[in-house]
């Protein structure tokens, strides 16, 4: 319980000058200044935290530990505040020399409550670490940040402005709609992979990269729920230490009818400390509309475009482009995607092709002139969801500026009627057709003059 109590010290230490202390003429001092709002500003939760503090049930706790050049603990102090104010923590009677100062900030339920975060191994900088006390989803109000610096203590009082940096990120899980398979009583975003889960972090500033993290000895990352929502609470903002580039995540739902855990969709996401992200999924549209995962600041514009009826089918149509150009296009136009075949497959009538998975039943399909992925020949958007009507891609093409010309019937497919469109510059022709067993495809290719005589003009 000692660690918990230190994390929640009720005393706000004030600065003082100890150089005149006759009992310690060589003693030095330092003032650590912390703006308690900085951490929450960086995580986009300042207003939420201010409102919570105003309710009187939570406090902000700031803690400081000091280590000498041998890495041994020489001081440990803390401060507590009930508003987002500037806090100063004074260090006194320190022998002149060089020290490592570490400050961290989080919230507390009061000095006698169990701490959500525990400081362990504090006697030495090499072993000092903060770990998650409860193996559960982390609410945004438990966000934690840290600052470290090296300071020389001499005859003058040293001033340290501690700029607290988030040690994790904020994820806002937002779920709309109900799946066609049945409503979900609970939907959760879960980390994937077999690597150990992140339990905390080391204080030693010499550690960097993955070496700074404390990994679980018993729980895999795949056992962790990052965030969850219910039908009555469709949004949940959480703090997470999980991180990585192209990291695997799964969206699961507890089916109301079967009580089984259904896998809704999996995604490769990039999640880094200090970021503020939104994961949004409309379960009614998941067959043809990918979820959003990206900066919260960009979410409103993304959703406005989706709500306007524009299908996510902004394919690469740079005819003659190579495979890397196409991949760069996919990565820049979709915040969520997955390549299904790194090695190109030879498809009869199309060339050497590569598939990209961008929603539960929506794919992008690119075909090149050769197996090296040179010279883009055509681009195809395919939806395999029989519940998505043809009006969805038709309307989307119109809204993207394509000119509807009518229908086209190819001599080798006399029983198939395609709707045909052209780009404003006339360089790209687009055909749209519905599959017999449900679903549809949008086919983009350079305009073929031989197709023009086959067009049946639209009437009216």
35-72 pLDDT tens trace = 999 999 999 999 999 999 998 878 999 999 999 999 99
Asked if residues 76 and 65 have their Cβ atoms less than 8 Å apart, the reply is yes
In this predicted structure, what is the pLDDT of residue 349? 83
Q: Which of 268, 443, 247 is nearest to 357 (CA)?
A: 268
Which residues have C-beta within 8 Å of that of residue 210, sequence separation ≥ 6?
none
pLDDT tens digits for range 158-202: 999 999 999 999 999 999 886 655 688 899 998 887 788 899 999
Coil/strand/helix, residue 260:
coil
CATH number of 169-303: 2.60.40
Query: How far apart are the C-alpha atoms of 134 and 115, rounded to whole Å?
Result: 9
The pLDDT tens digits of the residues spanning 250-290 come to: 889 898 888 888 888 877 788 899 999 999 988 888 877 77
Strands 403-408 and 455-457: antiparallel
- Residue 382: the pLDDT is 94
pLDDT of residue 423: 95
Q: Are 340 and 268 in contact (CB under 8 A)?
A: no
Q: Looking at the predicted structure, is the pLDDT value of residue 10 above 50?
A: no
pLDDT attached to residue 453: 93
Query: What digits encode the pLDDT tens for the residues 403-434?
Result: 999 999 998 888 888 999 999 999 999 999 99
From residue 392, alpha-carbon distances to 202, 281, 289, 428 in Å are: 51, 18, 11, 20
Mean local confidence (pLDDT), 6-13: 33
238, 249 contact by CB (below 8 A): no
- Angle among Cα 229, 175, 385 to the nearest 5 degrees reads 130
Strand blocks (E) in 50-96: 59-67, 73-81, 86-95
Cβ atoms within 10 Å, residue 459: 5
Same fold, 2-166 and 169-303: yes
- Please give the class, per CATH, of domain 2-166: mainly beta
In three state form, how does the secondary structure of 108-154 look?
ECCCCCCCCEEEECCCECCCCEEEECCCCCEEHHHCCEEEEEEEEEC
The full set of domain ranges for the chain reads: 2-166, 169-303, 323-457
- Give the pLDDT band of residue 17 (cuts 50, 70, 90): very low
């Amino acid at each position: 319980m000692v660690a918990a109590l230190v994390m929640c010290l009720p005393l706000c230490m004030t600065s003082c000058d100890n150089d005149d202390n006759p009992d310690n003429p060589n003693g030095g001092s330092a003032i650590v200044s912390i703006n308690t709002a900085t951490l929450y500003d960086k995580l986009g939760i300042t207003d939420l935290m201010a409102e919570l503090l105003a309710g009187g049930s939570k406090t902000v706790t700031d803690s400081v530990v000091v280590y000498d050049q041998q890495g041994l603990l020489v001081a440990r102090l803390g401060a507590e505040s009930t508003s987002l104010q500037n806090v100063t923590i004074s260090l006194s009677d320190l022998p002149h020399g060089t020290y490592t100062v570490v400050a961290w900030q989080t919230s507390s339920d009061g000095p006698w409550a169990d701490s959500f975060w525990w400081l362990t191994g504090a006697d030495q900088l090499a072993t000092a670490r903060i770990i998650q006390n409860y193996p559960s989803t982390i609410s945004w109000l438990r966000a934690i940040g840290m600052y470290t610096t090296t300071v020389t203590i001499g005859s003058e009082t040293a001033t340290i402005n501690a700029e607290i940096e988030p040690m994790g990120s904020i994820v806002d899980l937002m779920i709309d709609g109900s799946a066609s398979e049945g409503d979900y009583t609970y939907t959760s975003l879960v980390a994937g992979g077999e690597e150990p889960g992140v339990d905390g972090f080391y204080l030693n500033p010499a550690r960097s990269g993955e070496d700074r993290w404390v990994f679980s000895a018993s729980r895999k990352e795949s056992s962790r729920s990052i965030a969850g929502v219910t039908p009555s609470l469709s949004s949940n903002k959480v703090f997470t230490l999980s991180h990585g580039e192209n990291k695997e995540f799964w969206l699961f739902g507890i089916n109301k009818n079967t009580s089984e855990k259904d896998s809704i969709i999996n995604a490769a996401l990039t999640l880094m400390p200090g970021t503020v992200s939104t994961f949004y999924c409309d379960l009614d549209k998941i067959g043809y509309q990918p979820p959003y995962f990206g900066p919260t600041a960009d979410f409103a514009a993304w959703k406005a475009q989706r709500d306007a009826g524009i299908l996510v089918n902004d394919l690469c149509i740079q005819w003659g482009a190579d495979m890397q150009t196409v991949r760069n296009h996919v990565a820049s136009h979709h915040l969520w995607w997955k390549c299904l075949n790194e090695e190109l497959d030879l498809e009869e009538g199309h060339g050497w092709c590569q598939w990209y998975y961008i929603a539960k039943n929506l794919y992008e399909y690119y075909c090149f002139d050769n197996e090296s992925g040179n010279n883009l020949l055509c681009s195809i958007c395919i939806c395999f969801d029989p519940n998505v009507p043809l009006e969805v891609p038709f309307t989307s093409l119109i809204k993207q500026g394509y000119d509807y010309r009518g229908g086209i019937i190819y001599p080798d497919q006399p029983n198939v009627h395609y709707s045909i469109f052209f780009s404003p510059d006339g360089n790209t022709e687009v055909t749209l057709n519905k599959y017999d067993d449900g679903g549809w495809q949008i086919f983009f290719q350079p305009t073929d003059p031989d197709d023009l005589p086959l067009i049946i003009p639209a009437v009216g």
